[in-house]
């Protein structure tokens, strides 16, 4: 299954990439919901959080570490929100695991 994120990983579709390594990518969201809004995705095709296996532990850990480091580089020292929408009821639109990182303003709760 080839999602838009797979096409970003393979460079078929351009993206404003902040970080890339062997495990993951971080890039600007094309529909930002906050002044700073980027995504962190694993290069391995994992459909959602619901599909994680024990073998994915290091991949998810790397994605979270990259989210933290990129958030700091993006000036989010006052805080940010990290979200992984999962499946239909969780609001997941792209069937590839991804983490939203949003900040740059006071975020309210509940989100929606």
Task: Tell me the per-residue pLDDT of 55-106, one tens digit each, with 9 for 90 and over.
Answer: 999 999 999 999 999 999 999 999 999 999 999 999 999 999 999 999 999 9
Question: Taking a C-beta distance cutoff of 8 angstroms, is the pair 13, 4 a contact?
Answer: yes
Q: Pick 24 or 109 by higher pLDDT.
A: 24
The one catalytic residue among 37, 96, 98, 100: 98
**What gap in Å lies between CA 86 and CA 105, rounded to an integer?**
24
Instruction: Assess contact for 37 and 28: CB atoms under 8 A.
Output: yes
Mean pLDDT of the chain: 95
* Domain ranges within the chain, ordered by starting residue: 4-103
pLDDT of res. 110: 85
Burial class (CB in 10 A: 0-12, 13-18, 19+), 6: middle
| Alpha-carbon span 23 to 34, nearest angstrom | 26
Look up 96 and say whether it is catalytic: no
Backbone angles phi, psi at 25, to 5 degrees: -130, 150
Q: Comparing C-alpha atoms, which of 88, 78, 81 is closest to residue 102? A: 81
Q: Which residue has the tokens 């495990």?
A: 23
Do the bridges between strand 17-20 and strand 36-42 make them parallel or antiparallel, or are there none, so unpaired?
Answer: unpaired
pTM for the predicted model, two decimal places: 0.94
Assigned superfamily of 4-103:
HIT-like (3.30.428.10)
């Amino acid at each position: 299954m080839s999602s838009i994120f797979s096409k970003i990983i393979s460079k078929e579709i351009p993206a404003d990439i902040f970080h890339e390594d062997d495990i993951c990518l971080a890039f600007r969201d094309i529909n930002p919901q906050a002044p700073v809004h980027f995504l962190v995705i694993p290069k391995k095709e994992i459909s959602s959080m619901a599909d994680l296996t024990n073998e994915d532990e290091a991949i998810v850990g790397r994605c979270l570490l990259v989210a933290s480091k990129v958030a700091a580089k993006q000036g989010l020292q006052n805080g940010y929100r990290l979200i992984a929408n999962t499946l239909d009821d969780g609001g997941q639109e792209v069937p590839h695991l991804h983490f939203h990182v949003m900040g740059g303003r006071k975020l309210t709760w509940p989100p929606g």
